[in-house]
Structure 1
Amino acid sequence: MLNISNNQVSKHIDLTKFKSGQHIFNIEYHKVFKKLLLVFFIIIGIIMLLPWTQSITSTGTVTTVKPGQRPQTLQSQIPGRIEEWFVQEGDYVKEGDTILRISEVKSEYFDNQLTERTGNQITAKSSSVEAYKNKVDALRNQLVALKQERVLKLEQAKNKLIQARLKVQSDSIDLEAAKINADIANTQYIRTIALQEEGLKAVKDVEEKYSKLQETQAKLVSLQNKFLSTKNEVINSQLAISTINATYNDKFSKSESDLYTAQSVGFNAEVEVSKLESSLANYTKRSSLLYITAPLDGYINKALKAGVGETLKEGEQLVNIMPANYELAVEMYVRPIDLPLLHKGEKVRVQFDGWPAIVFSGWPNVSYGTYGAKIIVIENFISANGMYRVLASPDEDDVEWPEAIRVGSGAQSIALLENVPIWYELWRQINSFPPNFYQPAGATDASKDKKG
């Protein structure tokens, strides 16, 4: 019956004639299994026809929408030494609250009255500037007076020159008259000598004419001398005019030189005042930098420099602060091949670390523990990890995100794409084809935003 031997009994005996054989061989053992198998394949076929939403999954972290709302580190703008802490880790601070106080470590800033002394220097230099301005005004007045004086001196000298020229004319006329008188006297003398030789004139007459001739010649010589002297007066007057011009030009040059020197020194004093005012502003600002204050309302996360008396360098990190008011967002990274499938305004689903969720990426309606989000930023340049950065903010039309979520916690996002049958999705996954490229209604991509 077991068909173990080569001599089979069933070839010689009809087992179906026996009651036990009829009971055993007439039973269909696989009938239920076939039915179950048929139902299974029907269910599988129905499932294969069900719609499936294509998706892009990525991991990221919780961040904030605005850069100013993210955790930030406070640095010291100047080197110094920690003197006193006013807060501890976990404290809530308001904008402007003092966090710690530092002291100077550079010797040029040790003077506690440095600001007051610099202010006194500015006052003194400002007085010096005013003094030089007054000196410039005085030199300008002196220059104006010299110009007026030169005009008067030149007028006086020119009048003397005119008088000298008129006198030359007068003397020249007198000289010509004297020459005529001398010629007449000479003629009369010669005529008298001739008449005396003829006996018509006495010797006395000759002597008188000779005496008159001598007088006229003497007067002629005197007038010649006077004429030459008058001509010298003209030359002297002309020389006086030249001398006045040269003298006053020299005075003008000296006065202008003094004026320019005073202006130059005054300008240098103004430059020094400006430098001192800049130094005073820097000292005042530096003294305010000795107190590290909170730039906004927030919580002290961690003190990066501990203890009192510890020195720090310029720009060294001191304390980490988390803003109290912020708008949450999810920072996720997608592959370059998936980037064309994402668009601004497109909705995604987000799962946060620590929040249990049952996720069916293709059936978002039956997923539990995920929250709605909307893409607000798509990075235009690839990140250092070889992926593109995408920011998604909470979807206002969906369930609010949990209040207990902290910035920096992990998150997983699911970007929902086109609806396709399950069999098509399996076929795509087996062949490693990318999801269907599509443009959702009302969504925009980065390239269109750039063109707009």
Structure 2
Amino acid sequence: MKSIEQSYMDKMTSLQKLTVPKTHKVVVSLLIASVLLTLVILWFTPWIQTAQGNGEVNTLNPKDRIQAISALVSGKIQTWHVREGQKVKAGDPIVTLVDTDIALVDRLNAQLSATQRRHQANQLAVSKVQSNLNRQIDLLEQGLVSQKNVEIAEIKVQDLLAKAAATEAELSVLSVSLARQSIQTKIAPQDGTILRLLSAGNATFVKPGDVLASFIPDGVKRSVVLKVTGLDAPLVQAGHKVRLQFDGWPVFQFSGWPGTALGTFGGIVEFIEPIADQNGHFNIWIKQDFAEHPWPDKRYVRLGSRVKGWVLLEEVQLGYEIWRQLNNFPPVQVHQAKNSANEN
């Protein structure tokens, strides 16, 4: 017994007479076959696994990083010799401080002179009592004086030696104080650029250790530091190739096919920090790969510029990579890939 739907369709005689053109069938078949063939080809297409990270341009050498120009003595800012962004040479003055006590240096000089005279007098007295001690020893051997006279002379020698040592210590303290007061003009340690002046004008009082300005040297050897997740960090090793995209630099990137990328620059993993940050990310330091196109000029990529990077890992099939990404599995480890290649 036919259903109501079947009975209704049997009455649609015009619909049954309609046929799909042969050309349409061929085109649809070709499209379906092309899509299936493309999917099969893509499934077995080689794909480079990557560990992606974001970071910035930095430098490994501490001497090349931003340096703080600090005050060594307390006082007021007398004169700024530079402005922000100014290029300086090694030895150029940056800022001059002046002590709040204007006569302090004069008093230190007077104290130093007085202490020097006192020290000379003590040294002269030591030489005299030493001569007296030697004379008393000779007289003792001749039986002309008693042992007590020799002991009294020895006590005088020790007493004057102690005084001479005390004045010598005072001389050292005064010399250090005077030397610190004499270097109140801070100079540039090497060629570089003044980044910013952190202290205010002439009325500002500064203490020893206060940061007056920041300075960055010239000729910085740039590196890149990227942050990668804890899932990828164990797979990154020193010597791995890296593709870098600098912020503001035009790029056309295929992470799995680095040979087709445009606008990226080469790098090599130098080392991986063994400790994660508070977010569980690891820093990896990357140096320039001189076998490839050089990094952009320092005028365009400066310290602190943002960078995106892809650490190139192992070559796998694209189908496996899609499956791995969907399941959030880690990339293939290096030793696993080598073992699989040996078994094949």
- 1:132 paired to 2:118: no
The answer for the alignment partner of 1:252 in structure 2 is: 147
1:450 aligned residue: none
Q: Aligned ranges for residues 48-197 of structure 1 at < 5 Å?
A: 48-105=43-100, 110-150=104-144
8 Å CA contact 1:346, 1:440 repeated in 2: no
1:350-393 CA-partner distances (Å, limit 9, x unpaired): 11100021111101011111100011122123334422221101
Listed as ranges, the gaps of 5+ residues in structure 1 are 151-247, 442-452
Distance 1:5 1:339, change over 3 A: closer
**2:37 match: secondary structure:** helix
> 1:329, 1:9 → 2: CA distance?
74
Larger Rg: 1
Q: Which of 382, 406, 410 is residue 306 of structure 2 equivalent to? A: 410
Structure 2 SS opposite 1:400:
coil
Instruction: State whether residues 122 and 276 of structure 1, in contact with CA within 8 Å, keep that contact through their aligned partners in structure 2.
Output: no
- CA shift at 1:285, angstroms? 2.5
Q: Distance in 2 between matches of 1:106 and 1:359?
A: 64
Gaps of 5+ in 2: 338-344
Shift of 1:113: 4.7
Which of 401-410 and 118-127 deviates more?
A: 118-127
The aligned counterpart of 1:332 is 226
- Cα distance, 1:386–1:139 mapped onto 2, change above 3 Å: same
Contact 2:229/2:282, CA 8 A, preserved across alignment: yes
CA distance in 1, matches of 2:104, 2:241: 60
Shift of 1:105: 3.5
Q: 1:386 to 1:5 in 2, by over 3 A?
A: closer
Change in CA separation of 1:5 and 1:121 when aligned onto 2, cut-off 3 Å: closer
After superposition, what is the alpha-carbon deviation per residue over 1:25-70, rounded to whole angstroms, capped at 9, x for unaligned? 3635554233212212211221221110000000001011311101
Distance 1:396 1:140, change over 3 A: same
Distance apart, 1:106 and its partner CA: 6.3
RMSD: 2.7
CA contact (8 A) 1:119 1:280 kept: no
Aligned residues between the structures: 331
3-state secondary structure, aligned to 1:25: coil
CA distance in 1, matches of 2:164, 2:140: 29
Asked whether the 8 Å contact 1:73–1:317 carries over to 2, the reply is yes
Matched residue SS, 1:140: helix
Q: TM-score, normalised by structure 1?
A: 0.68
Q: Which runs of structure 2 are paired with 1:426-441 in the superposition (5 Å)?
A: 426-438=322-334
In terms of fraction of residues, the more strand-rich structure is: 2
8 A contact 2:119–2:168 mirrored in 1: no
Measured in 2, the distance between the counterparts of 1:26 and 1:321 equals 78
Letter matched to residue 47 of structure 1: L
In the alignment, residue 189 of structure 2 is paired with which amino acid?
P
Q: Structure 1 residue 299 and structure 2 residue 193: aligned?
A: yes
Deviation at 1:90, TM superposition (A): 1.1
Q: 1:429 to 1:6 in 2, by over 3 A?
A: closer
TM-score by length of 2: 0.87
Structure 1: distance between partners of 2:250 and 2:294: 16
Asked whether the equivalents of residues 244 and 308 of structure 2 are also in contact (C-alpha less than 8 Å), the reply is yes
Distance in 2, Cα, partners of 1:104 & 1:440: 68
CA distance in 2, matches of 1:378, 1:61: 15
Q: Is residue 238–residue 270 contact of structure 2 (8 Å, CA) maintained in 1? A: yes
- Per the alignment, do residues 69 and 143 of structure 1 end up closer, same or farther by CA in structure 2, a change over 3 Å counting? same
Identity of aligned residues (%): 28
Shift of 1:288: 3.5
